[in-house]
Amino acid sequence: MPSLGDLLRDWHQGAQAVARGDWDCALRLFSIVSEPPARVSFNVGCVHLLAGDPEAALRAFDQAVTKDACLAVGFLQRGMANFQLERFQEALSDFQHTLAQLRDNTAIDYTQLGLRFKLQAWEVLFNVAAVQSQLGLWAKAACSLGDAISKGPERAHNDLDIALGQVQKQVPLQPRQVPRGEVFRPHRWQVEHLEPVDFLGKAKVLASTLPADSQGVALPQPQALEARGEARPGATAWARDTAPGRAGTPAAPGHPLTRRWSSAPARLGSTSRTRQSPSRVPTGSRLASRFLQGRCWPGGPALAPPRNPPVLG
């Protein structure tokens, strides 16, 4: 069973063939659709009318109004097919069905359904008068034209007055129909989604700009930004030195621990060493354990006991 996408694709391509005037291609594409909806059957009937085959058009319009009994424009076009076949009673019945589907409205706009056509009540009444003129019902035809003049816009009054004069002279009228080449088309948003869309995109491999440490490639770390939003020089090294879970990593020269412990000998009264190399400054738990043992850093002086211990008693 064909998918909805296949139906929309064939329908769209068939409508494009109608716009080009390629009736055979349009019929072939519309015929591919299995169990076509009412609008596709309507399109088939319109193409047969354009190709000069009212018999085939009549069968297609029969299918359209059977599937959608409220398709007023389907009854209008079926009336046209019967009119071309000189079945005037059937044509009159179809035009009257069209008026019934209008439900006392002045017009039905089919643009939202994909057909660029606005069915006007006065045009349907004009077609009724055209069939009545073919049947020799001149008085009824004049009455129908009078109703069309009362419901039609001012721009149509001139044409209706001319038609009324022809009826008074007993000249038959020709009915009006959907403009040549106009058929139902699928919605534009449906056509736009016919092609597959790749929502995930293509995978890309990005090379890391961070150096590798002894345990593997260093993971990206957040960078400190200046006020203007640019990365501060040395921000990457700072973030790597202070990353959680890396107690054994030496601190950077500007790290607070380095400044703190490098000035420790001066505070403790030692003159043998004024600054400790940053690479030998312990961090984390080892720093705490050495401090409890009386050693500030490897090779540093021991903490001296107080000179004047308090005397108890």
CATH number of domain containing 187: 1.25.40.10
Q: Which of 81-90, 157-166, 251-260 has the lowest mean pLDDT?
A: 251-260
pLDDT band at 169 (very low <50, low <70, confident <90, very high): very high
The reply to whether 173 and 293 lie within a common domain is no
306 vs 131, higher pLDDT: 131
The reply to whether 168 and 82 lie within a common domain is yes
Q: Do 220 and 239 contact (CB within 8 A), yes or no?
A: no
> What SS3 state is found at 252?
coil
Q: What is the DSSP letter of 280?
A: G
Please report the pLDDT score of residue 270 as a whole number: 47
**CB-count exposure of residue 247 (10 Å: 0-12, 13-18, 19+):** exposed
The reply to whether 50 and 183 lie within a common domain is yes
E strand segments, 25-179: 107-109, 118-120
Nearest to 120 by CA among 143, 97, 98: 98
The reply to whether 149 and 279 lie within a common domain is no
In this structure, is residue 52 part of a structural domain?
yes
**pLDDT at 212 exceeding the cut of 50:** yes
The reply to whether 178 and 286 lie within a common domain is no
- Which two three-digit tokens encode residue 140? 């009824």
Per-residue pLDDT reduced to its tens digit, 77-106: 999 999 999 999 999 999 999 999 999 899
**pLDDT at 206 exceeding the cut of 50:** yes
**CB-count exposure of residue 264 (10 Å: 0-12, 13-18, 19+):** middle
Q: Do 223 and 236 contact (CB within 8 A), yes or no?
A: yes
CA distance 205 to 94: 67
pTM recorded for the entire structure:
0.62
In this structure, is residue 243 part of a structural domain?
no
Q: Do 108 and 64 contact (CB within 8 A), yes or no?
A: no
- Measure the CA dihedral 16/22/28/34, to 10°: 30
CA distance 222 to 69: 67
The reply to whether 151 and 255 lie within a common domain is no
H/E segment holding residue 97: helix 88-102
230 vs 67, higher pLDDT: 67
Q: What residues make up the domain containing 289?
A: 251-300
Last residue in a domain, options 192, 208, 235: 192
Residue 285 C-beta-side C-alpha neighbours within 13 Å? 3
Q: Per the structure, how many domains does the chain have?
A: 2
> What SS3 state is found at 98?
helix
CA distance 229 to 213: 28
Q: What is the mean pLDDT of the chain?
A: 78
The reply to whether 160 and 268 lie within a common domain is no
213 vs 140, higher pLDDT: 140
